Amino acid sequence: MSTATLTRTAPTIKVDADPKIGLRGHLRHTGALIRRNLLWIKQDPESMFDAILMPVVFTLLFVYVFGGSIGSAMGGGQDAYVQYVIPGMVAMMSMNIAQGVGTGFNEDFQKGIMDRFRSLPIGRGSVLIAKVVVEMLRLLCATTVLMIVALLVGFDITNWAGLFGAIGLTALFGSSLMWIFLVLGVTMKSAQAVQAMGFLVMMPLQFGSSIFAPTQSMPGWLQSFTSWNPISALADTCRALMTGGPVAHDLWVTLAWTAALTAVMAPVAIRKFTTKS
């Protein structure tokens, strides 16, 4: 007599995020993922080099290479240029850190980390929000380093409350830019492609703005571009908060851009992350 062996194959189960996850659950998941990302930075401190070294390089480059000539054109020399460019560079930090978000997010997909997250019963938005929060912390670290270097090169802080307001506004605007790069990180095939796309977009926005030089001497068509450039509004707001001047118009323009970018791009990023195959 022969004995038949029956083998039961377990059905394949796809675990989806629970659509009934409440606010408390999302907050708990987001907190756990923030802690995970911070521990990863602790284990790989080299990932902070860009946030630490980039402000130093940019500050020294623009102050000591271009500061004399641009400052003289402004009628005040290098000291006047320091007072002009440092608030603009505070605004620029939001762009540089945001660009790195998409690259790192794409690399996480290539390594399979995000596929593991998507197989867990957690809120999809929690993964992305945790990423944005941690990158905002990196942005604050980069801005702190920038201000230390700024004080060493002679920047005069005349309004401490305005300084903290400018840093907070930069972090808020930077978070809206991060959603754009999270979309690029999900949709593009490689981290190199995300980096190249970010470079092509961010370079014109940075240099076609009031970050590094006043716009009055630019050609008329370029002045029209800078007037609509949200980076100019952010830089002018930071400059007014930190060194004095009218704030209201540029502040409202910056907040409007922040709200619009977040409202449009955050749902797109979450949707792309959920449906990516």
Spatial distance between the Cα atoms of 192 and 108, rounded to a whole number of angstroms: 13
Is 75 within a domain? yes
Spatial distance between the Cα atoms of 67 and 85, rounded to a whole number of angstroms: 9
Return the amino acid letter for 129: I
Q: What pLDDT score was predicted for residue 100?
A: 79
* Range with lowest mean pLDDT among 6-20, 122-136, 193-207: 6-20
Average pLDDT over residues 34-61: 81
- Res. 209 pLDDT band, cuts 50 70 90: very high
Return the amino acid letter for 253: V
Is 224 within a domain? yes
* Cα–Cα distance list, 218 to 82, 214, 226 (Å): 20, 8, 9
For residue 262, the tally of other CB atoms under 10 A from its CB is 19
Is 53 within a domain? yes
pLDDT, averaged across the chain: 83
User: Does residue 133 carry a pLDDT above 70?
Assistant: yes
Bigger pLDDT: 253 or 16? 253
Return the amino acid letter for 194: V
Average pLDDT over residues 50-69: 86
Structure tokens at 5: 């062996």
- CB-count exposure of residue 274 (10 Å: 0-12, 13-18, 19+): middle
* Cα–Cα distance list, 186 to 34, 74, 118, 137 (Å): 19, 44, 13, 22
- Res. 20 pLDDT band, cuts 50 70 90: low
Is 11 within a domain? no
Q: What pLDDT score was predicted for residue 277?
A: 59
- Return contacts of 246-252, CB within 8 angstroms, 24+ apart: 251/169
Bigger pLDDT: 258 or 113? 258
Q: How many domains does the chain have?
A: 1
Q: What pLDDT score was predicted for residue 239?
A: 94
Helix (H, G, I), strand (E, B) or coil at 214: coil
Task: Give the tens place of pLDDT for each residue, 225-254.
Answer: 998 999 999 999 999 999 988 899 999 999
* Range with lowest mean pLDDT among 89-103, 108-122, 196-210, 254-268: 108-122
Bigger pLDDT: 239 or 159? 239
Segments forming the whole domain that contains residue 71:
24-275
Is 9 within a domain? no
Is 13 within a domain? no
Q: What pLDDT score was predicted for residue 166?
A: 94
Q: What pLDDT score was predicted for residue 71?
A: 84
Is 3 within a domain? no
pTM of this structure: 0.83
What percentage of the chain carries pLDDT values higher than 70?
87
Using an 8 Å Cβ cutoff, are 189 and 276 in contact? no
- Res. 16 pLDDT band, cuts 50 70 90: very low
- Res. 73 pLDDT band, cuts 50 70 90: confident
Q: Nearest CA to 88 among 96, 77, 98? A: 96
Is 7 within a domain? no
